[in-house]
């Protein structure tokens, strides 16, 4: 499984472990990913996604999955999230 958030595109970063003696060794900072099930009100369907905790707070702040995906940039979204975004836009256009 990839260590990348499906909604925000947040992935691993690199940096240094710095000891008391100021020795530096490389390390990775991994995003705080959680497997969550989010509900789309427009489609009336739930989707399982691997989302960073920060993106999950943004989903709640914007008012749900539909509102988050409407404002999200296509480059940041995973192919699965992009497909959901297009389905939601199609359903809203027909309604």
DSSP per position, 21-52: T--EEEEEE---EEEEEEEETTTTEEEEEEEE
For the chain, the farthest-separated pair of C-alpha atoms sits apart, in whole angstroms, at: 64
pLDDT over 80 at 21, yes or no: yes
Backbone angles phi, psi at 35, to 5 degrees: -85, 115
Confidence (pLDDT) at 2 = 86
The answer to whether position 44 is within a domain reads yes
- Whole-angstrom CA distances from 5 to 22, 35, 43, 61 are 33, 10, 22, 17
Total-model pTM: 0.89
57: domain CATH number is: 2.30.170.40
Query: Quick check: 95 pLDDT over 90?
Result: no
* pLDDT at residue 1 is higher than 80: no
Structural domain boundaries enclosing 17 = 13-94
Q: Is residue 22 part of a domain?
A: yes
pLDDT in tens, 40-86: 999 999 999 999 999 999 999 999 999 999 999 999 999 999 999 99
């Amino acid at each position: 499984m990839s260590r990348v958030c499906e909604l925000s595109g947040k992935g691993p970063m690199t940096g240094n472990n710095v000891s008391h003696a100021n020795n530096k060794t490389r390390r990775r900072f991994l995003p705080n990913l959680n497997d969550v099930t989010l509900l789309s009100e427009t489609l009336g369907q739930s989707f399982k996604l691997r989302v960073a905790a920060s993106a999950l707070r943004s989903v709640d702040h914007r008012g749900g999955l539909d509102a988050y995906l409407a404002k999200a940039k296509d480059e940041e979204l995973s192919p699965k999230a992009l497909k959901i975004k297009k389905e939601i836009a199609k359903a809203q256009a027909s309604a």
